[in-house]
Amino acid sequence: MRRAHRFFATLVLAFMASAGAAFAKDSVTIGMVLEPPGLDPTSAPAAAIGEVTHYNIFEGLTKINEDFSVTPLLAEKWDFSPDLKTLTFKLKPNVKFQDDQPFSSKDVKYSFERYAAKESTNKDSKFFASIESIDTPDPMTVVLKFEQPSFEALYHLGMDTAVILDEKSATTASTNPVGTGPYKLSSWEKGSSIALDKWDGFRDAAKIPIAHATFRFISDPLAAVAAMLAGDVDAFPRFANVQALDQFKSDPRFQVLVGGTEGKTILAMNNKKKPLDDVRVRQAIAYALDRKAIIDGAQNGLGAPIGSHLTPNDPGYVDLTGLYPHDPEKAKALLKEAGVATPLELSLILPPPPYARQGGEIIAAELADVGINAKIQNVEWAQWLSGVYKDKNYDLTVISHVEPLDIGIYANPNYYFQYDNPAFKAIYEKVTSAPNLEAYKGALGEAQKKLAEDSVNAFLFQLPNVTVADAKLKGLWKNAPIFVNDLSTMAWQ
């Protein structure tokens, strides 16, 4: 009788194990603060686009990994010429787009020429315009020839601005994305969520554990906490409610990851609007701000202070935080020297992220202490893009630039903070033409110092990468050199 019971128990356990395997969880729900304005990362600057589509739907020649390394993606390998002006890629064979069109060198040529065109809205168009020629000697070979040595090329080609599009579907990529990645768009419920399904035609489909992914848009910090606690969301990268982290750290159901990002959080200034066109006024604003108070109040103490437009993770980083210590009296003296009558009335435009909204409140109070009345205007992301980024209709705004090594934006006088300095442009030419790593780091150091001296913006802190997730979900990135949610690395334990 005992033997029969043991046999029956063994059968039950075996059945339960096989049933568990059959019904193993293969879906994930990811929380996001912002909804993307479209799904083509090559046509608009919003980081939320890449959070949904990069590495999932779209792929580039190279991949920037969590540890900041760069490895092949659609490329199989590459070779740089000794002068760093010619970059030759061998492409992966047997790759196709999700509409069954074959991937080849002609798609790379088409995409890069499209991004370099005068009418391009690609935020990295300057890089693509620096490519002198694109040769395609055969379907699996691409040769890029640059006007100057391009030490940063492999990083640029790993960003979401460099994903490869198929000419037949490129014009509709914003609403109907077609890429070479492991996932296809399933649905988009505007204002609510985007769903992706695993694409069985992907070249390594058998290696992708997650079959279904849903991105839920939750901008309210309290609602984000409630969604996590209720189990409605499995993971929330870039978790905004940092004041609630202790609650999750003490709960074994969850994991909390805190790492670094490439996010340079700044109080951006419109350098062409009076009186912000006077460097003394911009310097006064920098002296008025207490970075520690802003980090403590807006980020619960998370975030490293920065003094220019690079993060401590970057090659060639120079700590310039001591250049403008918190000194309200110095700020008042500079305003007086510049002939500014106080109170000075300025607009302060704040997009939705809590680092901007909460940080903006602290910044406004600190500016008021030196005689600057910063009138806060809270806007949605679409309004920020149209009013600040496109029309440049603002005085001050708080924003985090998350693209790696993007200091070149200061060489563009038409960029939204409208900084136009020939001396900086000359320095940046040294960055882009650096023949080796040491020269590159040295030129980056010069560039950082020039931006700080000119107080182009008030540089605040490195945005931390805070993720709250179900403890059983593995493969999440702790650090975020770029803002992605790489579904291919995720799996349930």
Euclidean distance between CA atoms 350 and 354, whole angstroms: 9
376 bridge partner residues: 348
Which residue from 410, 398, 482, 403 is spatially nearest to 446, judged by alpha carbons?
A: 410
Share of the chain above pLDDT 70, in %: 95
Q: Residues 99-121: what's their mean pLDDT? A: 97
List b or e across 70-107, with b for residues whose CB sees 16 or more CB atoms inside 10 angstroms.
Answer: bebbbbeebeeeeebbbbbbbbbeebebbeeeebbbeb
* pLDDT tens string 358-407: 999 999 999 999 999 999 999 998 899 999 999 999 999 999 998 888 99
Which residue from 304, 292, 310, 302 is spatially nearest to 468, judged by alpha carbons?
A: 302
Q: What is the DSSP letter of 337?
A: H
Write down the pLDDT at residue 22. 44
Q: Report all structural domains of the chain as residue ranges with CATH numbers, in order of start.
A: 25-217 (3.40.190.10), 262-464 (3.10.105.10)
Which residue from 376, 375, 397 is spatially nearest to 386, judged by alpha carbons?
A: 397
Euclidean distance between CA atoms 346 and 371, whole angstroms: 11
Average pLDDT value over all residues in the chain: 93
The tokens 């059983």 sit on which residue? 472
As a 3-state breakdown, the chain gives helix, strand, coil percent values, each rounded to 5, of 35, 25, 40
Q: Residues 345-353: what's their mean pLDDT? A: 96
Q: How many CB atoms lie within 10 A of CB 349?
A: 24
The tokens 């009013």 sit on which residue? 387
* pLDDT tens string 433-464: 888 889 999 999 999 999 999 999 999 999 99
- Residues 317, 451 contacting (CB under 8 angstroms): no
Q: Residues 151-155: what's their mean pLDDT? A: 88
Euclidean distance between CA atoms 234 and 230, whole angstroms: 10
Task: Please report the beta strands in 218-292, taking only residues with DSSP state E, as ranges in sequence order.
Answer: 235-236, 254-269
One-letter identity of residue 218: I
